[in-house]
Amino acid sequence: MRYYPIKIPKIFKFIFNKWTWNFSSHKKEIYLTFDDGPLPVITPWVLEQLNIYNAKATFFCIGENIHKHPEVFQKVISENHSIGNHTYHHLNGWKTKDVDYIKNVRSTEKLLSNQSQRLFRPPFGKIKISQSRKLRELGYQIVMWEVLSADFDQKLSARECVENVLKNVKNGSIVVFHDSEKSFPRLKESLPIILKTLKDNGYVCKAIP
């Protein structure tokens, strides 16, 4: 049984209305996001696919991975994609003391010092209200999502990931993928199909401004 929604219910957006779930738009534009990188092989492959379809995206990076793979991180920046903070150690906010959580975010922030944006996505989508409040006080925009590809779910096929996205996106949707080893078997098959289909249907894939 699936324990997560593919499309976020409106009630979530209403209750947690200080977080960004999607963008209001009358244009055919989609905001693709990739969590958990940067990683060798996988992230460069994602960048290659985005280039093929003239698409831009937002990468929510783990600080530890930025430290380990600075050349991959610089490649994401050089290709003009947006960058977001995803904590340093991929922390579950529900299981982490506030002071430790904020410190972890700040550790990644130091690696993003040249980035003007302050975008943050909590790993697993799990963050306490108190943590969110503190991060917003620090100038962060908490970016969630409207549609999950669910590429992280090893029980799903790549085809199901494709359907999760294409059946649920609409103008202004924020969509989650993962440039991670766990997700790559499904991402490698599904992302090219999704990008081509979106482009064929007149959608433009943009980075979060």
pLDDT for 113 beyond 80: no
Q: Which of 35, 151, 153, 179 is catalytic?
A: 35
Task: Give SS3 for 133.
Answer: helix
What is residue 115's predicted lDDT score, i.e. its pLDDT? 72
Q: Is 153 a catalytic residue?
A: no
Residue 208: exposed, middle, or buried by beta-carbon count in 10 A (0-12, 13-18, 19+)? buried
> Phi and psi at residue 135, in whole multiples of 5°?
-65, -40
Q: Which amino acid is at 56?
A: K
Q: What is the pLDDT of residues 120-149, one digit of tens each?
A: 999 999 999 999 999 999 999 999 999 999
178 is annotated as an active-site residue: yes
Mean pLDDT to the nearest integer, 103-128: 92
Average model confidence (pLDDT) for the chain?
A: 96
> Residue 116 above 70 pLDDT?
no
Give the mean model confidence (pLDDT) for residues 144-158.
97
Domains and CATH numbers, the chain: 10-205 (3.20.20.370)
Among 147, 139, 179, 157, CA closest to 35: 179
Q: Which of 86, 178, 179, 200 is catalytic?
A: 178
